[in-house]
Amino acid sequence: MACSHPVPTSAGKQRADQIAAGLPRRAWQRLSAGAGSKGPRLYDWAWTTIAADPEHGGRSWLLIRRNIRTGELAFYRCWATRPVPLRELVRVAGRRWTVEESFQSGKGLAGLDQHQVRRWTSWRRWTLLAILAHAFLAVLAAIAHDHDPQPHGLIPLTRNEIHHLLNTLVLRPVVDLRERLRWSTWRRRHQYRARISHYQRRAELET
């Protein structure tokens, strides 16, 4: 929600950014919002109880995320039927990236946004086929991960890599199959080394 969003408190409504500015330093905790392509998505988090909706009951919180490097703030208004720990709210907030990544992946791998239709029926058919194609890639990646979750010196097969292999080996068959497979292995090994280097550099900066 916006930083200017009015949040109900015991002292009346206040802007979300005003509440964040009044929090003490000890209120902030560094937690991961989930695994990203470059390692854990670490942010500083704080939360404070806000006035609950009497109609729905339960517990309400203002959850605040602060970027470690830039200090940029993001705000979430949370509600639950029972008390929950901060780590659980952070985990749920981090699921937003999964949804956004799925949309971006669907656009890039399955052409989710490449329809040129105007009618509802045509759009629905195109979207359904794109989602099915993306789900097919996700299932193949999950099967490959279950079969060999930690290939030596390589990253696991991803949806992007499977998409590339299908285009190369099925849609545009080539004569030199071994060369194409070696190229795929080289790319995965390069990504594995890049990931390890990034993790080490990030750990050095955070210590």
DSSP string, 174-200: -S-HHHHHHHHHHHHHHHHHHHHHHHH
Q: Which residue has the tokens 């392509």?
A: 37
Give me the tens of pLDDT residue by residue for the chain, a chain 207 residues long: 888 888 887 778 888 898 899 899 999 999 988 877 667 788 999 998 887 666 767 888 999 999 988 999 999 988 888 889 999 999 999 888 888 888 888 998 898 888 887 888 988 999 999 999 999 999 999 998 888 777 778 878 888 888 888 887 776 665 566 777 777 787 788 778 777 777 777 766 666
Token pair of 121, please? Answer: 């029926």
Residue 36, phi then psi, degrees to nearest 5? -110, 180
Q: Which amino acid is at 166?
A: L
Residue 13, phi then psi, degrees to nearest 5? -75, 135
In total, the chain counts a number of residues equal to 207
Token pair of 132, please? Answer: 């099915």
Check residue 171 and give its pLDDT: 65
Check residue 190 and give its pLDDT: 78
Check residue 73 and give its pLDDT: 93
Gap between the Cα atoms of 135 and 139, Å rounded: 6
Q: Which amino acid is at 24?
A: P
Gap between the Cα atoms of 199 and 196, Å rounded: 5
Gap between the Cα atoms of 21 and 46, Å rounded: 11
Q: Which residue has the tokens 């200017």?
A: 4
Beta-strand ranges (E) seen in the chain are 6-9, 12-15, 29-36, 39-50, 59-66, 73-80
Token pair of 30, please? Answer: 């560094």
Q: Which amino acid is at 148?
A: D
Gap between the Cα atoms of 63 and 47, Å rounded: 4
